[in-house]
Amino acid sequence: MKQLGTHLVIDAWHCPADILNDPERIRTAILDAVTAGEATLIDFCVHQFSPHGVTATATLAESHIAIHTWPEYGYFAADLFFCGRGNPHKAAEHLETALQAGEVNRREFERGFEPSVSLDTSSVSVSETSPATNLTAFPETSFAGR
């Protein structure tokens, strides 16, 4: 299977609290990031929390952009998943700049590849694969408290 998409996960710190707590600034930053990333907007939702914080999601023809802000910590977390066309890195750069991130950790995941390790389950019975019915199939794994 070929790569189906690029998934960027961003942690950003040292951002101005007034920007991170302003739903209109967040809206503008994401909409401009959609344009910068050459993506197609399908739907958009912004919610401001009380006393502070904003969550926004943009549904794209290419997938999505989501952001969650913690103004009290000068921090935001963003998730950009693009499949097909578009440029998630340009979208991410725009978002980081617009929200004036002082420090950024951006991780990239290539999505859609088949796992490199294949598990042979041909000789495993159904009861052995169900942790709810038989925890002895994988004794080194603890499911307690989950």
Catalytic residue IDs:
63, 68, 83
Q: What order of strands is seen across the sheet that includes strand 54-60? A: 41-48, 54-60, 63-70, 75-83, 5-13, 103-111
- Which runs of consecutive H residues, i.e. helices, occur in 64-125? 88-98
Q: Which two tokens stand for residue 57?
A: 């999601």
Residue 73 DSSP symbol: G
Gap between the Cα atoms of 27 and 30, Å rounded: 5
Is the Cβ–Cβ distance between 135 and 143 less than 8 Å? Answer: yes
Burial label for 93, CB within 10 Å (0-12, 13-18, 19+), is: middle
Residue 62 DSSP symbol: T
